[in-house]
Structure 1
Amino acid sequence: MEYELRESPPTVSRFLELRAAAGMSERSREGVERGLPNSVYAVSVVDDAGETVGMARIVGDGGAVFHICDMVVHPDHQGQGLGSRMMDALMDWIGENAPSQAYVNLLADVDGFYEQWGFERSAPASKGMYYRVSEA
């Protein structure tokens, strides 16, 4: 199978489908509809049948802070190096566009993957924290 890396986010529906297929936490359609167009940079991987099978994006303020998120490869297409291709594209973009001293972070869910791009654990110097808005 052949894959094409595209510099664009997936559709809202496919974004939600990919997260669900990979067992990632749910996002509301409204939130995704608002958020995807505000990506600083996004990539998708499309298979030779034209189906989007991977995605990753960068969000942030475009200058001082960048957050890599929504990195997912559909389970049927894992093991093909697609995650590495997407990370290469994201880090190439960071290298070309982020100013000196910019802060780039991510929440890693795969041990030993992101270190190859220079990422380091922040603990014990800092701790990752989160807050999720609940339904009203």
Structure 2
Amino acid sequence: MVTLHDRIPTVAEQLAIADAVGWHDRFDAESLGRSLERSLHGVVAVDGDGAVVAMGRLVGDGVRYFTVQDVLVHPDAAEQGVATRIVERLLAWVRATAPAEAIVGLFSSPEAVGVYEAAGFERADRDPIGMVQALRPDAR
């Protein structure tokens, strides 16, 4: 069973998952720590053995503009809906935090488009595939 935790992954955790999915060359290990520190929010998925098997984070201004970033799932945890759960949790955080309507964007790999469309994102007409969704804050 995979459980979700609201926290930013460590550099080692992100690099391990990136390596497992073949994205070892997509992150600069030297600057990744600073990048992670400046994240607005993060979610990690932990398996029954305590290993981080998936992650996702938000970047942006924390007020109106947010970007879903680095949603990665270790192949051993694939096909369990973990990416969907992480995206839903990140969007819930935006709804609970943003003081007004927020714009949430992302860039998707072709394989992950369905995850984001199911969460309400729409395709843009360019490559890489850009998506955007307007979220209204929860009633207070």
TM-score range with shorter-chain normalisation? 0.7 to 0.9
Residue 123 of structure 1 aligns with an amino acid whose one-letter code is D
Q: Secondary structure at the match of 2:72?
A: strand
Runs of 4+ in 1 over 6 A off after TM superposition: none
Equivalent pairs, count: 125
Q: Which residue of 1 aligns with 2:72?
A: 72
Cα deviation code 1:19-62 (max 9, x no counterpart) = 12112342112211101111101000011111000000000111
The answer to which structure has the higher strand fraction is: 2
Q: How far off its partner does 1:94 sit?
A: 1.3
Question: TM-score with structure 2 length normalisation?
Answer: 0.82
User: In structure 2, what is the Cα distance between the partners aligned to 1:82 and 1:101?
Assistant: 26
Cα deviation code 1:69-118 (max 9, x no counterpart) = 11011001101111111111011111111233322100011232211221
RMSD: 1.6
Instruction: Give the 5 Å matches for 1:29-40.
Output: 29-40=29-40
Q: Secondary structure at the match of 1:113?
A: helix
Residue 93 of structure 1 aligns with an amino acid whose one-letter code is W
Name the % identity. 37
Instruction: Give the 5 Å matches for 1:14-53.
Output: 14-24=13-23, 25-53=25-53
Residue 98 of structure 2 aligns with an amino acid whose one-letter code is A
Is it true that 1:58 corresponds to 2:58 in the alignment? yes
Q: Secondary structure at the match of 2:113?
A: coil
Name structure 1 gaps, 5 residues minimum.
129-136
Is it true that 1:119 corresponds to 2:121 in the alignment? yes
Name structure 2 gaps, 5 residues minimum.
131-140
Residue 15 of structure 2 aligns with an amino acid whose one-letter code is L
User: In structure 1, what is the Cα distance between the partners aligned to 2:115 and 2:82?
Assistant: 12
Q: Which residue of 1 aligns with 2:6?
A: 7
Q: Secondary structure at the match of 2:122?
A: coil
Work out whether residues 84 and 119 of structure 2, in 8 Å CA contact, stay in contact via their aligned partners in 1: no
User: In structure 2, what is the Cα distance between the partners aligned to 1:97 and 1:122?
Assistant: 26
User: In structure 2, what is the Cα distance between the partners aligned to 1:98 and 1:79?
Assistant: 31
Work out whether residues 10 and 33 of structure 2, in 8 Å CA contact, stay in contact via their aligned partners in 1: no
Work out whether residues 20 and 26 of structure 1, in 8 Å CA contact, stay in contact via their aligned partners in 2: no
